[in-house]
Amino acid sequence: MNAVTDTETRRLLSGNEAVAQAVWEAGVTLASAYPGTPSTEILEVLGTYPDVTAQWGVNEKVALEVAIGAALAGTRAFCAMKHVGMNVAADALMSQTLAGVNGGLVIAVADDVGLSSSQNEQDSRYWGRFAHLPVLEPADAQEAHAFTLAAFELSERFLVPVLLRLTTRVCHVKTLVEIGQRQTIEPRGFIRDSRRWVMLPGNARPMIPAQFKRDDALRAEAETSPLTTEWKGTNARIGVVASGPAALSAREALPDAPLLKLGFSHPLPVERIKAFAAGVETVLVVEETEPLVEQELRAAGMAVTGKDILPRNGELSVAVLRQAGATVRGETLPVPAATTAPADVFPRPPTMCPGCPHLSPFYCLSRLRNSVLVSGDIGCYTLGAGQPWNAMDTCTCMGASLTLANGLALAKHGDDANKAVVAVIGDSTFLHMGMQGLLNLVYNRANVTVMILDNRSVGMTGGQEHPGTGRDLYGNDAPRVDLEALVKALGVKPERVHVADPYQLPELFKLIRTEIQVPDVSVILTNQPCVLTDRHKAHPALMVDEDKCTGCGNCLAVGCPAIQVVRRGERVTASGEVKALSFVRIDSAFCTGCNACVGPCGPKCIVPQGPAETAGQAVGG
């Protein structure tokens, strides 16, 4: 994605791409973010535009504070994150919204409605109420572009950050978008005013009445905002009040119903909604996911229906809204015609990639399953909770593996009293929020073994860079943190810090088994890059000597999807029962030659492919 040409007026863009385009057009100087689906691509695309400095922050709080700094300097700034990231950034958000900003500041928060790739389903519109922020809700990519531009104008007019609430459907669905040229914005310059920018109680207290006054002005703005639109409809039996993509679903499901689409959804334009409601019999409030608008309208004395007939979780599809409309009208929808039954296919749960350096650590932990409690974290390695490893007992949020492990180690009892506690975390997650947890483990003399799985990328969201990769967002060389030195600097004893090649599985297993028996904080750092990045170097693919394979299945426990089970015949038992004979085969198109499956192989029948002279060549590492 590049800057628009002089003659170009439309592009096919996703919502994320449209936001990035609008940020560039708005004359933004600095954009920062931490990667997280569904918001990741916004900053990645911004990194391809000229005249904007785009930076990955080590976490969302840091990213927001960097953007706030730029806005205080009087330039336009932008920050992006997924919904759970706002929880991390809230400390900075709640204070800065009281003081306001100098230059325009827009914060895009992408809610993962339906939990496509998140640990919870969170409604970020609450932050508008909680932090006294205006909230804009685009419904598609075209609106994502237009609302982003409007958000910067609104931010500078009211000197307040503006929240752009996106959802997965807006972020990832493409449509044609009207685009423009980059604006030239004259920086306002930093305004030295310690009574405003230094958030001491004596300074902050007088700002609260001003914040309430600003709320009133924003409420008046929302009442007449062109970002909120109305379709008249032809049947006043039901009038729909909706926002975001759910508004488009409502229009499709109830095409004859009047619809008030809230683009500027907070402060809520109550008087405008009352005027709309006066022209219909029943008001149906359609919102994803929490009943915020519904509750505020009821508090304002309006009789509305909403979550009493609509689900409080997941996307509101056309079918769901069509049924809701029938319920309001007292109708019964016809049962849809029977469709062809879905094919009976083998389930395919998410799994790690062939050759993933996380395969071996979780294989080792699965072999120690009866003697360890494993506290996990957020990343690709969260899949270690599934088959065939079943080697993760907890996973809450970024960085919680170490802190939960602290509590587990202190409070375990009964059947778990003699089990060791292992915390598993990735490199990006450790830098995001894990360092404090390790410091806490050391300070409190916890008995925990920490495994930092360093794959040199933010693997879960597509291989983005971070301070431990040695590159910045643009791919340029950048200072790379030395995780081994960092761990020691946080207080872990040097003799308890180990760097291990995860592809040398027997050695890794021995190391883990040794360290969990040591009554102290110990750290094991694995050191192989993600197989999907250019840092990974593949080795000759492996193959199975079928004449030697006994079908023991030990290699399957590693969990590599390149290993397949193949049936090769039948045998009759002494009791006359016919049983299938199987062996394994390695798909050379996927195999990276990592060597992880060689160690568990009982008959030692897994060997490198190729000429005989390469048979003894070391693979992996």
Q: Which residues are annotated as a binding site for [4Fe-4S] cluster?
A: 549, 552, 555, 560, 591, 594, 597, 601
The secondary element (H helix, E strand) that includes residue 178 is strand 174-178
Going by the annotation, the residues of the binding site are 549, 552, 555, 560, 591, 594, 597, 601
3-state helix, strand, coil in the chain (%, to 5): 35, 20, 45
**Exposure b/e, 407-441, CB count within 10 A at least 16 = b:** ebbeebeeeeeebbbbbbbbbbbbbbbbbebbeeb
Q: Are 160 and 215 in contact (CB under 8 A)?
A: no
Report the C-alpha gap between 327 and 324 in whole angstroms. Answer: 5
Structure-token pair, residue 220 = 């008046």
Q: How far does Cα 367 stand from its chain's mean position? A: 30
Three-state DSSP state, 211:
helix
Q: Are 362 and 381 in contact (CB under 8 A)?
A: yes
Structure-token pair, residue 41 = 């691509």
- Of the chain, the end-to-end C-alpha distance in Å amounts to 36
Q: Are 180 and 189 in contact (CB under 8 A)?
A: no
Nearest to 35 by CA among 380, 531, 451: 380
What's the number of CA atoms in the CB half-sphere (13 Å) around residue 573? 6
